[in-house]
Amino acid sequence: MIFHHQSSLQSELQKNRVQNRTVGFVPTMGALHEGHLALVKKALSENQITVVSIFVNPTQFDNAGDLEKYPRTLKTDAQLLKKLDDKILVYAPNPGDLYGDNVVSKKYSFGGLEHQMEGEFRTGHFDGVGTVVNLLFRAVRPDKAYFGEKDFQQLQIIKKLVSIEKLPIEIIGCPIYREKHGLAMSSRNKRLSKVQFEEAKIICETLKWAQSNFSEKSIGELQKHVSQTFQQNPHLKLEYFEIANIDNLRPARRKRKGNTYRAFIAAYAGEVRLIDNMALN
Ligand code: AMP
């Protein structure tokens, strides 16, 4: 069932809430792929009601072209969800239904998690994400919400958001779903040419290489190797490669005992920006 207005979604949810049914929620921007569906399947298995939102949020884009070209495939998305389970509630609002007249971001401070990597290269991105997820959480009032580790920095920020906004929602992180050759699934992959799609596997290969070499090599050596690898590939342009402590996401320059690290990459294939990350230890 598709709802374009939160008022009608809420009346449907209310009927279920009086019966104490738990609500699981998967926020997405649509153009659904197996990665999204894995989150939805987990939500279905852990809750009695599952809500999936499909909304391309304008306030989290710092690049007008990227927003304009973001794939929008609501009809196919709704069919995919229906095939999975015909009781899924799909919330596909217009900006006005979520934001009212003022489609702008609230300013957040996420304790420093917002400054590096995606925050550094996409101005205002996490204010946009925080704002829309807060509005969606208030519209849906889920018990549990599911986010992919594909956007690991976002996942950590959402955990912080629920504590800032004092929302009683359990945030659940889900593993990254990949194409056969390793590229992390993404709605943006639809915009890649055949060659770009093939060559983009270098992102995941590089992360795997960093993972295998993490214990022997210094962070400086790992970074040097990664930037050289990308320089040799004419199809991909590295924006950043960082190794960061998962608790504060501050890029590490030296390994410290007892810390847990992840490697993070953003790279362009033509105009298409791709991100990925992997646990290192
Ligand atoms: P998006 O539609 O790109 O905003 O993604 C919606 C949710 O799906 C976010 O929590 C993403 O982290 C998650 N997601 C997107 N791609 C993947 C993937 N390849 N594997 C796992 N989760 C993903």
pLDDT at 153 over 90: yes
Per-residue pLDDT at 136: 98
End of a domain among 140, 174, 208? 174
End of a domain among 125, 151, 174? 174
pLDDT at 17 over 90: no
CB of 61 within 6 A of ligand 1: the answer is no
For 234-278, write each residue's pLDDT tens digit: 999 999 999 999 999 999 999 999 999 999 999 999 999 999 999
Residues 139 and 193 in one domain: no
Ligand 1 centroid to Cα of residue 122, in Å, is 18
pTM for this entry: 0.97
pLDDT at 30 over 90: yes
Q: Is 275 helix (H, G, I), strand (E, B) or coil?
A: strand
Greatest Cα pair distance in the chain: 60
The CATH number given to whatever domain includes residue 10 is 3.40.50.620
For 39-83, write each residue's pLDDT tens digit: 999 999 999 999 999 999 999 999 999 999 999 999 999 999 999
Ligand 1 centroid to Cα of residue 176, in Å, is 8
Q: For residue 125, what are the domain limits? A: 2-174
Q: What are the backbone angles phi and psi of residue 15, rounded to the nearest 5°?
A: -55, -40
Ligand 1 centroid to Cα of residue 177, in Å, is 9
For 93-114, write each residue's pLDDT tens digit: 999 999 999 999 999 999 999 9
User: At which residue do the structure tokens 């927003």 appear?
Assistant: 67
Q: Is residue 269 situated within a structural domain?
A: yes
Better pLDDT: 54 or 18: 54
Residues 198 and 159 in one domain: no
For 174-220, write each residue's pLDDT tens digit: 999 999 999 999 999 999 999 999 999 999 999 999 999 999 999 99
CB of 53 within 6 A of ligand 1: the answer is no
Q: Which residues are catalytic?
A: 36
Q: Which residues of 161-181 are buried (b: 16+ CB within 10 A; e: fewer)?
A: bbeeeebebebbebebbbbee
pLDDT band at 18 (very low <50, low <70, confident <90, very high): confident
The CATH number given to whatever domain includes residue 229 is 3.30.1300.10
Q: Is residue 179 situated within a structural domain?
A: no
CB of 185 within 6 A of ligand 1: the answer is yes
User: How many domains, in total, are found in the chain?
Assistant: 2
